[in-house]
Amino acid sequence: MNGPSGDIVVLDYGIGNLASAHRALVRLGARARLVRDPAEAADPAGVVLPGVGAFGRCAEALQASGLIDVARRAIETGTPFLGICVGLQLLYEGSAEAPGTPGLGVVGGVVGRLPAGVKCPQIQWNQLEPLGGRPAELLAGLPERPWMYFVHSYAPPIGPETVAACDYGGPVAAAIERDNLWGTQFHPEKSGTLGLRVLANFVARTGAGDPRR
C-alpha cells in the first residue's frame, strides 16, 4: 500500500546513519518519513538522499533497494530534492573512487579526490565561500561565509550548478543548486544552527511543514 503523500521522504537504502537527517527534519517540524520500500514514496513533497562511506557501495545499495527509481522520478518531475555528502556525489556521472560504477548522471562530471597535499578525509568545520554571483535559495538567511561540518575524501567538480565552495588545498565544491536539485557536500544535520537553517530552507521549498527559523 502506498504511504501518504505530501511528506518529505528520506531514502533509507541501508548505508550508514541515514536516520540523522530524518531526525533533524522532524526537529524542524517537517512532515518527514524514512522510506525503505519504493511503494511508500508515492507523491512526496520532497526527497532527501543522504550518504556516507564509499561511493561504489552507496551506488550499489541504492540500486539494489529500488529507491534509485524514487530518486530519478523526483528529479525528473521537479520534486524538491536534496543530496547530502555521498548523496550529492551520487547525482554525478561517476566517481574516481569507484571507476566503472555509474552515478545517477543528472549532473555532468565525475567526482574526484580532494587536492594533493591535504589530509584525507577532510574531517573538520570549514567556511563556505558563495559562488556564481547569484543568491542561492539553499543558503538563504545564512551569514555570507557560514561554517559547516565536512567529512569526506572526494568531492564533485565545480560547475555552473555550484553555489558554494570551501578552501581545502584549493577550492572544493561544497553545495549545488539547480532548479529543484540541491546538494551539500557538508553535513547540514551535523552543522549546528546554521546547518539546520539549510534544512529549514529545503523544508520551506517543499511546503511540508512550518520550520522554526
Q: Do the Cβ atoms of 103 and 117 come closer than 8 Å?
A: no
Give, as one character, the DSSP assignment of residue 182: E
Identify which of 74, 72, 69, 91 has the alpha carbon closest to the alpha carbon of residue 5: 74
Name the packing angle between helices 55-65 and 67-77 (round to 10°): 90
DSSP for 11-52?
Answer: E--SSS-THHHHHHHHHTTB-EEEE-SGGG-SS-SEEEE---
Query: Annotated active-site positions, please?
Result: 85, 187, 189
